[in-house]
Amino acid sequence: MFGLVPFGMGKDLMTEGSLFNRLWDAFDAPFAAAGAGGFKVDVKDNGDAYELTADLPGMKQEDISLNYENDYLTLSAKREDKVDEKDDNGNYIRRERSYGKMERSFYITGIDKEHAKAEFKDGVLKVALPKLQVRADVSHQIPISTAG
């Protein structure tokens, strides 16, 4: 079974333009501006495995974490950019620093975690999550002996 952990759940159930809907928008705005869930993920079911593809432009491999625990796959990425400009005396003329952490979680059961693989290339993370092979119960006849 595969499922996304809900974010902003129930918002689509409200009529557009309602006061309650606008309240949800006001509540979500700071999180959206901060880049909550700031990367896009495609999920594909290939029958015997799930394939996740996440766009993480500008990230380095060492800043990405992938963890599978209690049937949740959590993808985390952090970024710290520094741009410092100084004058001849070493005083800052402009200093801009940016730091952010993004995280997405996916509920996935029946994964063969020992054979899961991930590859990061050109800002794209690809994760292959093979499904556990479920063995069909084989019927077995149990002989009945006469009591005696």
Domain boundaries, the chain: 2-7+39-130
CA 57 – CA 102 distance, rounded (Å): 13
Q: What's the confidence (pLDDT) of residue 10? A: 46
Q: Cα separation of 59 and 63, whole Å?
A: 7
Host H or E run for residue 51: strand 49-55
Question: Is this prediction's pTM over 0.85?
Answer: no
Judge whether 83 and 96 are in contact, CB under 8 Å. yes
Nearest to 57 by CA among 36, 81, 39, 32: 39
Per-range mean pLDDT, top range of 36-40, 67-71, 134-138: 67-71
**3: pLDDT strictly greater than 60:** no
| Span 2-7+39-130 CATH architecture | Sandwich (2.60)
Is the model's pLDDT at 137 over the cut of 50?
Answer: yes
* pLDDT one-digit tens code per residue, 80-101: 766 666 667 767 666 666 677 8
Q: What is the pLDDT of residues 112-132, one digit of tens each?
A: 989 999 999 999 999 999 999
Q: Per-residue confidence at 22, pLDDT binned at 50, 70, 90?
A: low
pLDDT at 125: 95
